[in-house]
Amino acid sequence: MESKYSQFSTHLILILGILIMILPIWIIFASSTHDNLTLATKGMQFGFGDNFLSNYHNVVFTKGGFSKEITLLNLFLNSFIMAIGIATLTVVTSLLAAYTIVYFKIKLASTFFWLIFITLLVPLEVRILPSYQVVSELNLINTYAGLILPLLASSIATFFFRQFFKTIPEELLEAAKIDGVNSWKFFIDFLIPLSKTMMVAIFIFMFVYGYNQYLWPIIVTTNEDFWTVIMGMKIIFMRSLVSSFSYVILSIIPPILVVIFLQRWFVKGLINSGK
């Protein structure tokens, strides 16, 4: 009896949590299918309207910006390139950093790791000016490299890979050494296959992180050809309330799809990191 009550309480809390997260998104989506007059006179709507196709068609294909040449597709492309670049390069750099810290007998390895980890306490806002100066001196303003490179190093990703590598039995390394496997081949043939789920988990986390960036892109881009989806919201909000709601719904689709398609590996990666 107590077990059934516990299960009921757990499921009830879970359902309430889902409703709290989903309900605001549904209201935004439902409101985006109405016209501006309905929203202005009756407020946000819970039911579905009759202007779904026309509202979303206008948001996707109507050109805006200072040049009147920017569409939502351009913004999506820039955000996708930025997010993919940050996620991919973060996985590579963090994987290599963790491999060096765990498997190479270097002096002060633990000290170097904790110096990397401490940077987790330093937000982007604190290092925004020196980062901008470096990017500016390298002539990377208004480039994809300028959007991606300053954000590709992640202390939390390095931490997760380090913790995962420490769960791998040392006997595997010893067996590889006996077979004459060098460091690079051990990394490629042994650690990479074992780290696939962790790599996917970090990739998803960093993809969402890169996709949602606003402060850095708005500082490092003066050309609207490199504007991202988050930056483009100011264009849409100036049009109408319906357009802004439609834009919000469309903007959350890419990260949702990435999480849905890769969720199985994402969960496995998080479970493995805690071992």
82 pLDDT more than 70: yes
224 pLDDT more than 70: yes
Confidence of residue 262 (pLDDT cuts 50, 70, 90): confident
Instruction: Give the pLDDT of residue 198.
Output: 87
Per-residue pLDDT, averaged over 250-256, amounts to 88
Q: What is the pLDDT of residues 18-46, one digit of tens each?
A: 888 888 889 889 888 888 888 888 888 88
* C-beta separation of 45 from 34 below 8 A: yes
237 pLDDT more than 60: no
86 pLDDT more than 90: yes
Nearest to 202 by CA among 149, 155, 253: 155
268 pLDDT more than 70: no
170 pLDDT more than 80: yes
Instruction: Give the pLDDT of residue 269.
Output: 60
Per-residue pLDDT, averaged over 53-70, amounts to 80
Within the chain, residue ranges assigned H as helices are 2-31, 36-42, 52-61, 72-103, 109-118, 128-137, 144-148, 155-167, 170-178, 183-186, 192-194, 196-211, 215-220, 229-237, 241-251, 253-273
The domain over range 62-273 is classified in CATH as 1.10.3720.10: yes
Within 149-252, residue ranges assigned H as helices are 155-167, 170-178, 183-186, 192-194, 196-211, 215-220, 229-237, 241-251
91 pLDDT more than 90: yes
Tokens of 222: 């003066």
Per-residue pLDDT, averaged over 197-219, amounts to 89
pLDDT higher for 259 or 208?
208
Q: What is the CA radius of gyration of the chain?
A: 23
- In the chain, domain spans: 1-51, 62-273
Would you call 33 exposed, middle or buried from its count of C-beta atoms within 10 A (0-12, 13-18, 19+)? buried
Confidence of residue 245 (pLDDT cuts 50, 70, 90): confident
81 pLDDT more than 90: yes
Confidence of residue 8 (pLDDT cuts 50, 70, 90): confident
Instruction: Give the pLDDT of residue 139.
Output: 92
146 pLDDT more than 80: yes
Nearest to 253 by CA among 229, 231, 237, 234: 229
Nearest to 89 by CA among 135, 150, 160: 150
Instruction: Give the pLDDT of residue 92.
Output: 94
Per-residue pLDDT, averaged over 198-215, amounts to 90
Mean pLDDT score of the chain: 84
Confidence of residue 236 (pLDDT cuts 50, 70, 90): low
